Amino acid sequence: MRRITYLLLVVLLLSPMLLMAIPSHAQAKKIGIDLTPGRVKDIDNKWSQKLLNYLEGNLTEAGYQVVELTEITASTLKDLDALVIGKMYNETSGFSSSEIQAIADWFKQGGKFLWVGADSDYTEPYLNPEDTSFKAKEPNRVLEAIGSRIRIDYMSVEDPENNAGAAYRVVANRSVGGINTEGKAAAITSGVDRILFHGPAGLAGVSDGTFVPIEQVFDDNLFWLARTGPNGVVASHDAVVPQAYEVGETGRFYLAAAEEIPVSSDLFTIVYSKVIVTSESLLGDRNVFNVEYHDIELQGPEFVMNVFEWGLEIKAEPNMTGYAIIGVIVIIVIVGIAAFALRRK
């Protein structure tokens, strides 16, 4: 009887762990691409459509199901595993409060992946030359809602040495330390030597509600993927100043970062969702999905596909609270059995 009791206790202790190890039924992951009318900059031009079709073709060939969204609601997000947000077209193309809430609710279910793209503060002729801050504000609203510590700063990043023919066409280059090959980033950047960020913004972090250099928030769950060479430059094209950096500041500036965010848990399991933020978009007139630009060979597609593979891999880990409770129960039961056995002697 005592042996049976001990065996039951062991099974009770290990059962949550065993359940975590059982793979769910495999099915095609669904990737939603936000193409809400009027939202994504120049999405309808010939070059943008070519890149979009190329992206969707690669994703489909890899076994993913691609869904083009014309609106963001709880219903359209319901069955998605991933969502891609592109660069904003103008001030009226931003997210409604209901869209922000729908994205946050979806993300916080756990096991979701969000790609947030950005754009520099360059002022196109149709924009207010004094204020293009919507390009950062709108994606930052989403990042805040999902609990991310990554932000897009109100600036442009240039690199006079690592570029595709002009300082604003920044190339993150492995040979000068512009591609992260360490830790969790290594799998995402495998096979990637150069990525084009054509007219990128710059990434910052947020701490206690304040913008900070993104290096200050790096940890095991938030890590960089791409950055400039050592002589990158912060630039500004409108009157809105950067929050974490200074105009004219030089050094390494970050172009892509990833974060794993714990969003739900029960007594035994903590489930994460994931986000990647790129200072150039995956959608729109210029994007990171390039194989060549101005005779420079690029590995944009390899990078993008690696990102989706990482993003769509479910991350969950044991919640030690539940195991601690079970441990206490086990101790109480063992003490009770021992006391009962002593009384019978």
DSSP-assigned states of every residue in 49-90: HHHHHHHHHHHHHTTPEEEEESS--HHHHTT-SEEEE--B-S
* CA distance linking residue 34 with residue 300, whole number of Å: 20
Pairing of strands 169-173, 82-85: unpaired
Q: Span 149-177, mean pLDDT? A: 98
Residues 6+ apart with CB under 8 A from 193: 173, 174, 175, 179, 297, 299
Residue type, 204: A
Return mean pLDDT, the chain: 89
DSSP string, 101-145: HHHHHHHTTSS-EEEEE-------TTS-TT--THHHHHHHHHHHH
Residues 94-112 have pLDDT tens digits of 999 999 999 999 999 999 9
Q: Are 222 and 193 in contact (CB under 8 A)?
A: no
What are the structural domain ranges in the chain? 28-318
Predicted TM-score (pTM) of this structure? 0.87
Q: Are 88 and 36 in contact (CB under 8 A)?
A: no
Residues 219-269 have pLDDT tens digits of 999 999 999 999 999 999 999 999 999 999 999 999 999 999 999 876 778
Given 3-state DSSP classes, what are the helix, strand and coil percentages for the chain, each rounded to the nearest 5?
35, 25, 40
Residues 46-72 have pLDDT tens digits of 989 999 999 999 999 999 999 999 999
Whether 340 has a pLDDT exceeding 70, the answer reads no
pLDDT band at 278 (very low <50, low <70, confident <90, very high): very high
Q: Find, among 152, 159, 154, 89, the residue nearest to 118 by Cα.
A: 152
The CATH code that applies to domain 28-318 is 3.40.50.880
